[in-house]
Amino acid sequence: MAKAVRKQALGRGLSALLKDPDNDIKTAEDKGADKVVGNIVELELNNIEVNPFQPRSSFNEDALKELASSIRELGVIQPITVRKVDFDKYQLVSGERRFRASKLVGLETIPAYIRIANDQESLEMALVENIQREDLDPIEIALSYERLIEEINLTQEQMSERVGKNRSTIANYLRLLKLDPIIQTGMRDGFLSMGHGRALINIESTSDQLDIYEKILENSLSVRATEALVKNYKEGKSVSKSTPTKSKTPEYIENAKKEFASYFGAKVDVKIANKGNGKLIIPFSSEEDFKRLKKLISGAK
């Protein structure tokens, strides 16, 4: 316990050093830089801006609330990483979820590692760190690889060294970006796996890609069934006549569909993604019918 208190006090002392305008640290060669760079410093959240190079475009609100609850109980266990951009001003390099969750809790400061880097280095650090995360979907990873190639000018071989992945793995992710945007969205929403996407890449026609994509969703096709469907297509066989095996819908879903249909007075469809999440689709025939459904959902009388 004493060691933890001493570490926090050290962080506060370094924070005070950073607030000295007469000894502002701008480069790694400046006086006092060796005491700050690479060390954990308690920084005020209001002095930190989000990284404009952040490759992630959305954050799950429920997951953020769970992290916020953990931070409320245990504090920020893993420091964020920031780069110094001005006097007592910082920009996130990595750790935006921890940053956002700390704000939700109402913290005033957060432990941080300070880096002095230019924009290109900051982007590279953010992208490489994000690629290592386990909760990124395949399209997010592919977009991060693409940005490393286009904005950092890394070759696939250099990228392989940076992220510790085989070149073939990187190439497979990048190929996903050739899929139609609708299919990419389906992958981001969890309705398709990377295996489904890799099978669909072999179809050059966008319209045919989308036709098969619809059949994957309608029939809850496995990756193997999708590969067979694509193979039939490439051999000139009619996709529409194929009869792939449809995965059995869980009993709890079938029972709920009947209850929903009875309640809403409409046939309700349920689509289930590979991760267990899904979509509930309630059709309506007119504006009046839509308003009727809205009242039923909201419980309005």
Host domain of residue 8? 2-117
- Note the pTM of the prediction, 2 decimals: 0.49
pLDDT-derived band at 289, boundaries 50, 70, 90: confident
pLDDT tens digits for range 249-261: 677 777 777 777 7
pLDDT for the residue 155: 84
Q: 96 an active-site residue? A: yes
166-202 b/e (C-beta count within 10 Å ≥ 16 → b):
eeeebebbbebeebbeebbebbbbebbbbebbbbbbe
CA atoms within 13 A on the CB side of 169: 10
Q: Is 285 part of a structural domain of the chain?
A: yes
Q: Is 157 part of a structural domain of the chain?
A: no
Last residue of a domain, one of 93, 117, 141: 117
Last residue of a domain, one of 117, 151, 178: 117
Please name the amino acid found at residue 253: I
Instruction: Find the range with the poorest average confidence among 100-109, 154-163, 238-247, 284-293.
Output: 238-247
pLDDT for the residue 201: 93
Alpha-carbon distance of 127 to 143, in angstroms, equals: 9
pLDDT-derived band at 8, boundaries 50, 70, 90: very low
Extract the tokens encoding 110: 């957060």
Q: Is 85 part of a structural domain of the chain?
A: yes
How many domains does the structure of the chain reveal? 2
Q: Is 184 part of a structural domain of the chain?
A: no
Look at residue 239 and tell me whether its pLDDT is greater than 80: no
pLDDT-derived band at 122, boundaries 50, 70, 90: low
pLDDT for the residue 114: 84
Extract the tokens encoding 133: 């995360």
Last residue of a domain, one of 83, 102, 117: 117
pLDDT-derived band at 44, boundaries 50, 70, 90: very high
| pLDDT, mean over the chain | 79
Q: Is 125 part of a structural domain of the chain?
A: no
Pick the catalytic residue from 29, 42, 44, 96. Answer: 96
Look at residue 53 and tell me whether its pLDDT is greater than 70: no
Q: What is the CATH number of the domain that holds 107?
A: 3.90.1530.30
Q: Is 260 part of a structural domain of the chain?
A: yes
- In this structure, is the dihedral angle defined by the CA atoms of residues 30, 35, 38 and 43, taken in order, positive or negative? negative
Q: Is 233 part of a structural domain of the chain?
A: no
Q: Is 82 part of a structural domain of the chain?
A: yes
**Residues 14, 26, 84: CA angle, nearest 5 degrees:** 65
Query: In Å, what is the CA distance from 247 to each residue of 66, 135, 181, 188, 241?
Result: 33, 26, 25, 21, 18
pLDDT for the residue 196: 94
